[in-house]
Structure formats: C-alpha cells, structure tokens
Amino acid sequence: MAPAAHRRLRRLAAVVRDRAVRRLIAAVNGAIHPGDVSSLSTAEFVESASPVPTSWSRHCGDFPGAGARLEADVDTREEAAKTMLIERDVPIEMDDGIALRADVFRPNDGRAHPTLMTYGPYGKGLAFADGYPTAWKKMTEEHPDTVTGSTNVHQCWEVADPEKWVPHGYAVVRVDSRGAGRSPGFLDPFSARETEDFRECIEWAGRQAWSNGKVGLNGISYYGMNQWRVAALKPGPLAAICVWEGASDFYREAARHGGILSTMLLNWYEMQVLSVQHGRGEAGPRSAATGELVCGDRTLRRRFLWSDRSLSGA
C-alpha cells in the first residue's frame, strides 16, 4: 500500500473509533437508546453527552482527544485521577458459588455514576508495558496521545485507562474471567459459562450503591467479541456496547479467514491466556501498581493447572 493511502486509511480508522466512543458515552449517559447508537451524529453526541471543559482544544471532530488539551486541563485531570477510589479484588459471586474478582476505579464524590466494564482472561493486574512491551513501545512512539494526561500505572492490554475516564464521572470495572488472573475456577474462554458470568457481573454492577444503574461495555478484540454474546442475554443494566475489532462470526472471522485455517488462536491461548491462568502464583507476573501476584496467591503444580482449563481455548 502506498504511504499516502496508508495515511488516509489510518485517519479513517481513527474517525471510526472516535464515533464508536461517542455512541458509547451518549448511550451510557442515557441520552439515547442503545438501539439508536448507529444513527448518532457528532452534533447529537456533543449535545447529549456529559459537559466537557470549554478550554479543551478539538481533535477528530467534536470529541476531545487525549493530548489535545491545554496544560491546565491535563493537570486538573491528573489531580482528579489521584483522588479516585480504587477497590481491588472485589468479589462478585456467581450463581454456582464461585467468586470472581474485579478491580473498581471510581470517583471519590459519594455520587452514583455510570459504569464502563470489561471482562476477560488477560489478567487485570498485568501492566500493558510489562505484558506487551513491544506493543507498548510502538503505541507510545506512534500514538503519544494514548499516554498523555495519565500516569499510565493502570494501563492494561485492550481496556480503558481509568485515569482518563474516572475524572469524567465514570466508574471503571475490570473483571478477571473465570480461571484467569485472580479469579478462581475452570478456564474456558468463549464458553457459555463465561457469557453467563459476564451477564451476572453486569447485573452486579447495576446494583451497587456507587452505580446509577447503567453499564456500558468497552474493549478490544476478546473484550469486544464477548460483548456481542452477553448483549444477546439482555442484562437489565446494559445501556451500550462499544465493540473494537471484535469478531461476531467465529468461523469466518477467527477460525478460518476466507476459508483458510488460522493458527492465531492456538498461539494466542498459550501466549496470552495460559500465561496468566489463575493458580500460577509465584510463577506468574506481578502487578506494577500493587506488587501483588497477577495470577492469585496460590502456586499450583502444572498438572493441576492442566486439569483446570480447556484444551484449546476456543
């Protein structure tokens, strides 16, 4: 692809992503019905979403982009991020008695707020820079706006940075899926059990005292693919989904691209999921933010880890 065409494609991709985020925010704020998000225009988003500081410069249309603000605004948001409440390993009990673990980042103002949630197998305590150093280096060099206005200590793979969302009045909830990270249980990605767990997590978030009853889902790839499935269960508090690079047809878009077998999932399962399976304990990574073990406090033998997971992850 010619350089000029490649640049145009990247600009188009940025516009598409920004529009998706606009729709998510407006739906979670209750300004539009989730079913109407596809028709939301930029002007409608600006009118319906939460107010933003008037001193913000404008980037990518009317949505304020990271790195496009005045220095004073950056300082204000960083101060707000420092005062956010962080609750780690909050238990969310499932219908079979298993308690999954979630980290909750929320404003320290005593008020109810909309929730942005992700649920997945990548270890909520694993820092982006530690787990994916090559991708982190490339992102920070080519897209420095992604790390502007944040300490980045809470940046994790393919999920929202709470330091950029909490100051705007959102609670950010990250759940380790069953058998991954600090959540116990049988590790079985893409399973019906996982989807049911996700539904119960959404219902849980909608009931919390710090929640206004509206939950939006956001995330990339795996965190997008499972949004399609859980949305089909129609959890009561679910107000919007924002699917980034999330396949909806597992056969055509994940297993066989154009009919050709893709081996990506086999490598993905071993490299990205099994590396943070619950029970790895001391054999797994530590959180850059807390120093705690990302995969739980117990260190299980290999044969027990083997018996506590599906064979293929798909």
Determine the topology of domain 84-307 in CATH: Rossmann fold (3.40.50)
Closest CA to 250 of 230, 265, 266: 265
The pLDDT assigned to 312 comes to 74
What are the DSSP calls for 78-138, one per residue? HHHHHT-EEEEEEEEE-TTS-EEEEEEEE-SSS--EEEEEEEESS-TTS-HHHH-HHHHHH
Question: What are 147-194's pLDDT values in tens digits?
Answer: 999 999 999 999 999 999 999 999 999 999 999 999 999 999 999 999
- The model's pLDDT over 30-45, given as tens digits with 9 standing for 90+, comes to 544 444 433 333 333 2
CA 205/CA 195 separation, integer angstroms: 16
pLDDT digits (tens, 9 = 90+) for 255-289: 898 899 988 887 899 999 999 999 999 999 999 99
Band the pLDDT of 19: cuts 50, 70, 90. Answer: low
pLDDT, tens digit, 9 for 90 and up, residues 37-94: 333 333 332 233 333 332 222 222 232 333 333 334 445 555 655 689 999 999 999 9
Q: Is the pTM of this model over 0.85?
A: no
| One-letter identity of residue 145 | D
Helix axes 222-232, 192-207, angle to 10 degrees: 80
Q: What is the mean pLDDT of the chain?
A: 82
